[in-house]
Structure 1
Amino acid sequence: MIDTIDQQLIGALMDDSRLSLKALAGITGLSSPSVGERLRRLEERGVLTHYTVDIDPKHFGYLLQAIVRIRPLPGQLQEVERQIQAIPEFTECDKVTGEDCFIARLHVRTMDHLDSLLDRLNVYAETNTAIVKKTPVKRRLPPLTD
């Protein structure tokens, strides 16, 4: 079970995954060794799976972001999934129910770049693309308590 201290630790790490044990101890009121032990248990239980860095793709020339709905042609589901996994500009992809089988997030440098990547998929699937104008809600956790 996750208690309030675990929730504090997770919340603090979501804000800044580089916080030291000392800083986390200050937030929770525990000692650094106690914080380290709690983090180890959260990792062992699979609650904490990664410590990560958030990077802005624009600094690497990826000026456009698109959401792509993908509907494989008959018999092409596995090939479409392989193609999506092989194209590194796809930064997220969910396999979903409904008319489309995949909804993916794609980062590209230009519209021509977008077209060239979608052309690789269009042999195997129909796509519907929307350019992201703004992200009012960044990826976040759902509430950790009831």
Structure 2
Amino acid sequence: MNALTGPDQRIEKPQLDEINLRLLAELQHDPRLRTTELARRLGVSAPTVRERLARLEESGVIRGFRLELDPAALGLPVAAWIRLRPGPGQNPRIIELAGRTPEVVECHRISGEDCFLFRVQVGSIGDLETVLDKFTVHGQTTSSFIVSTTVEPRNVPLPPY
């Protein structure tokens, strides 16, 4: 059942049965598959696939579909991780700044001495310096260039079905 539950109106997660897990596996492999092709592969009807997809999206199991671009082909060949140790009371400002800085392609709150970890994608070292300058007024930064990626970002592993 996919009904709203409790006073906070959270949507109950759909059961991850074999069909849902196979559906997710197919979409992880190729998120552009048409409903009819998914139905054929799963041995169910197209309306069943649409209903299951809707439930998985509504519940947040499927958070979205993304287009993967090559940053270097777009003139953004320099990638770096930036760790930031904020000054007192700076967290809200840092979160807001990261959200409006397009070069910040990931931002994570982390444990340890540093509170934030950013991944940035820029066109040059000078552009990285400009990004760093925006954040150093809020705390101490440490940056590391990404020299190569040995394991590309990948989907989370699905439970066996």
Partner of 1:104: 118
- Aligned-pair CA distance for 1:15: 2.4
- 1:15, 1:89 → 2: CA distance? 28
- Aligned-pair CA distance for 1:47: 1.1
- Aligned-pair CA distance for 1:111: 0.4
Is the aligned partner of 1:54 residue 2:64? no
Q: Pick which of 74-83 and 56-65 moved more.
A: 74-83
Question: Among the aligned pairs, what percent are the same residue?
Answer: 36
Partner of 1:136: 150
- Aligned-pair CA distance for 1:122: 0.9
- 1:34, 1:62 → 2: CA distance? 42
- Aligned-pair CA distance for 1:16: 2.1
Is the aligned partner of 1:90 residue 2:117? no
- Aligned-pair CA distance for 1:93: 0.6
Is the contact made by 2:25 and 2:158 (CA closer than 8 Å) also made in structure 1?
no
Aligned residue type for 1:54: E
Larger % of helix: which? Answer: 1
Is the aligned partner of 1:18 residue 2:32? yes
- Aligned-pair CA distance for 1:130: 0.8
- 2:41, 2:70 → 1: CA distance? 28
Q: TM-score, normalised by structure 1?
A: 0.91
Q: Pick which of 58-67 and 39-48 moved more.
A: 39-48
Gapped runs of 5+ residues in structure 2?
Answer: 1-14
Aligned residue type for 1:77: N
Gapped runs of 5+ residues in structure 1?
Answer: none
- Aligned-pair CA distance for 1:44: 2.2
- 2:61, 2:105 → 1: CA distance? 22
Aligned length: 146
What CA RMSD, in Å, does the superposition of the two structures yield over aligned residues? 1.5
- 1:107, 1:8 → 2: CA distance? 34
Partner of 1:45: 59
- Aligned-pair CA distance for 1:46: 1.8
- Aligned-pair CA distance for 1:139: 2.7
- Aligned-pair CA distance for 1:134: 2.0
Is the contact made by 2:81 and 2:146 (CA closer than 8 Å) also made in structure 1?
yes
Q: TM-score, normalised by structure 2?
A: 0.83
| Secondary structure at the counterpart of residue 136 of structure 1 | coil
Aligned residue type for 1:32: A
- Aligned-pair CA distance for 1:119: 0.9
